[in-house]
Structure 1
Amino acid sequence: MKHGAFAFLLSVVPCLTAGVLFAQDAPRLRGPEPFTKEVPAPPMQRQVTDDVRVMRNYPDQPPVIPHSIEGYAVDLNANKCMSCHARKFTEQSQAPMISVTHYQDRAGNTLGGLAPRRYVCVSCHVPQTTATPLVENRFTDMDALTEPERQPERRRR
């Protein structure tokens, strides 16, 4: 019986100790209050509205929204985003056309209109704000690693 309890302690104590060490190193994303206490949400940060397209941080990242979308309707009857980003409106709006992938179903078949799974734009595309990142971003683009002298300085968000 003594050996069973000793083996149990040998297996549990290192896990508990590691959990405490990892918890101390992990950044607190919820603020200084314990997660069990209900606190008011911080105010929303101001949206960046300069209409400047920014470099993506990683391959296949959905482009961020460089303008305010406050009050945009995206519901069963309307999608305000498509009034500028649909192919037939891009010439007059000067907005980039949505990707052709947004007209494909899961099997890759081309549809006559926007795919239902791509209809709610903010599921993937987010507006930029002036918020400070919660965790430092140390991402380095592959091009910057392979040819640092040829890379122009580009804005990231």
Structure 2
Amino acid sequence: MKKLLIALLSISAIGAGIVQADVEGVSNAKPDMDDAMLEQTDMEKAENAGVEQAELYNPGGIGGVESLRGMSELEATRAADSFKKYPREQVIQSDYVYQPPLIPHNIRGYEVSLNANKCLACHSWKNASEMGATKVSVTHYVNREDAVLADVSPRRYFCLQCHVPQANAKPLVENEFKPVDSLQ
């Protein structure tokens, strides 16, 4: 990598010298340059071949990106996917042991920030029974030194780091996860 960087800097310096010499009316020929310095390096040949290959597959030079959501031209804006439906009455089962529970409702517009946590309005121990919501796990009231706190631990305060809304969305990639037999 270091050699490649030095080679590129050398070529840039030589190119700048040739341009400068041409501007001053001096001949472009450099008597102290040998033919080996003028030949393309293997790396430059590979880079040029890559450019030629890209031009072959992307005529016109516009190019495109193919992702799991489909083909999209670089200069075009693809229409946004429609919002997913959140099945309120149906609980989607966990896929693996210790998976954080999924959120069985829409959370659009919920503020979860340093100043407010809308989730705790229903799920805190104080409000859960009144609201008919699941209580926050006791593990969320323990700090990193294993001390039990009176309120949710700061490291567990931002619910959406682990918990996500469940949606009946078509998977982009097939799930081939298989739990061990003893955990089924």
Q: What range describes the TM-score normalised by the shorter chain of this pair?
A: 0.5 to 0.7
State the secondary structure of the residue aligned to 2:129.
Answer: helix
Q: How many Å apart are 1:91 and its aligned residue?
A: 1.1
State the secondary structure of the residue aligned to 1:92.
Answer: helix
State the secondary structure of the residue aligned to 1:91.
Answer: helix
Q: Which residue of 1 aligns with 2:117?
A: 79
TM normalised by structure 1 equals: 0.63
Q: Deviations over 1:55-90 (max 9, x none)?
A: 211111111111011111112332111111111111
The answer to whether structure 1 residue 31 and structure 2 residue 70 are counterparts is: yes
Q: Which residue of 1 aligns with 2:173?
A: 135
Kindly report which structure 2 residues correspond to 1:1-157, keeping only aligned pairs within 5 A, or say none. 28-29=67-68, 31-33=70-72, 39-40=77-78, 42-142=80-180, 145=181
Change (3 A) 1:48 1:76: same
| 8 Å contact kept, 1:49–1:67 | yes
TM normalised by structure 2 equals: 0.55
Paired AA for residue 31 in structure 1: G
- For residues 153 and 76 of structure 2, what CA distance do their matches in structure 1 show? 39
Task: Indicate the structure with greater strand content.
Answer: 2
CA RMSD of aligned residues (A): 2.7
Identity of aligned residues (%): 42
| Structure 1: 5+ residue stretches without partners | 1-26, 152-157
Q: Deviations over 1:89-117 (max 9, x none)?
A: 11111211111111111222212211111
| 8 Å contact kept, 2:87–2:168 | no
- For residues 28 and 110 of structure 1, what CA distance do their matches in structure 2 show? 45
Larger radius of gyration: 2
